[in-house]
Structures are given as structure tokens and as C-alpha cells.
Amino acid sequence: MDIAATAAQTGTQPQPSKTSGAGAISSDFETFLKMLTAQMRNQDPMNPVDSTDYAVQLATFSSVEQQVLTNDLLSGLSAQIASGISDLAGWIGMQVRAPVSGRFDGAPVELTYAPQPDAGRHVLVVRDAQGDVVSRSTLPPGESTTSWAGVDSHGRPVEPGRYRFEVESYTGDTLLGTQQAQVYARVTEARIEDGEPVLILEGGARVAPGTVTALRAGD
């Protein structure tokens, strides 16, 4: 005697579930146990159900339960990814300010930094793509923004390309620390990587949206 026959004999009929996922599985499992118990009580004592049949029924229900839970998990992940991608779409084409290397194409590069209050002076260090120092210049006191005109320490124009901008803070001749200056760059792509949003900037730099300190319309 299987569960369907037991249900018909005992008048216990499974009701359509109004919920889905884990809640439905929990409710259905309770019903399944009640029907299995009823099946055991109402079996023919002269021809009892083999214990293997019970094991098969339990294994079958467990398999269905795991499949439903897996489907719910995958559906939830898909919804999160779709929502995340939709939220990131607004970044495409915008210019963001972040601590990344900037591209010099002939026009001055805008730089933003946070001066250390206990520093007596700040020095802007510009490095090329190979990491070599192109120029060093003292920044005006009390300022947090500046621009680099694309010249080396001798005032000679440099080639267009990507440059890294560092601000060194000194008290006397003692270096207190070095920070990377922030520049504006256009967002060319937005991704979800390992569950986290990543912005790809023009030139290939990668930043997390949380590191962006300013946003403006793209060119």
C-alpha cells in the first residue's frame, strides 16, 4: 500500500500549497510524515510493506525537497545579480573621482588630496607607467586641490599617457606619509565579481563604488 492509497483510505488528501520554497516544503513534509504513519498503521498485517519501500519513499521526498530548496536559492541569487547589474547601469559613462592613476592627454589633470593637518609641507610626486618619477613639486599650503600641467621637474612637456599622482606629507625633513591623489576618470564598464560591484575606468583601472568620492556627468 503506497501513500496515495493510504490517503484515499484514511480520507487524508494533500492540499494545494499556497506558498513556495522552504515554507511549502516544511508543510508538505509534515503531511508526508502523517500519511506515512497512517500507511504503517493501516497496512495489511499479513502482507506488511517492506522496510525498503519506506526508505525509498523517504529518499524520494528528500530528493525533491533538496531540489526545491536549490531552485529557490538559485532564483534568489539570480534576482540579486539582476538587481545589482541594474543599479550599476547608471554608472556607465559617468566620470568618477577616485584614488587611481589618471591619463594625461594634453590638458591639465585635476587632482584632489587630503592634506595632513600636522604636516608642514606637501609634495606632489608624479610617476609614469613604469613607476619612474617624472616630477616633484611643492604644493601650496592649506590647499586640497591642484592640477598638473603635464610637465616634468624641469618644465618640459611629457608624453601623453597614464600617470600616478602621490602626495607626500612632511614635517621638517621627516616623511609622515604618502597618499595617492584622486583623479576623475570615465566609467566604461560595471561588473559583479565575487558578489561585489566593480567599476572599470577608462584606461583599465578598477575601483569599488564605495571608494568613489565624487561623481559628474561624462564628456
Residue pLDDT, tens place only, 138-182: 999 889 999 999 999 999 999 999 999 999 999 999 999 999 999
Residue pLDDT, tens place only, 92-112: 888 999 999 999 999 999 999
Q: What is the dihedral of CA 201, 204, 206, 207, to 10 degrees?
A: -30
Distance CA 91, CA 185 (A): 12
Whole-Å CA distances, 85 to 75, 95, 138, 162, 212: 15, 18, 43, 29, 18
> What is the end-to-end Cα distance of the chain in Å, rounded?
75
pLDDT at 137: 95
Residue pLDDT, tens place only, 29-77: 677 677 777 777 777 677 776 666 666 666 666 666 666 666 555 555 4
CATH code 1.10.275.10 for 109-175: no
- The average confidence (pLDDT) of the chain is 79
Among 13-17, 70-74, 116-120, the minimum mean pLDDT is found in 13-17
More confident residue, 185 or 24: 185
Q: Is the pLDDT of residue 78 over 50?
A: no
The reported pTM is 0.59
Give the model's confidence band at 4: pLDDT under 50 very low, under 70 low, under 90 confident, else very high.
Answer: very low
The residue-averaged pLDDT of 176-197 equals 91
Domain ranges of the chain: 3-87, 109-175
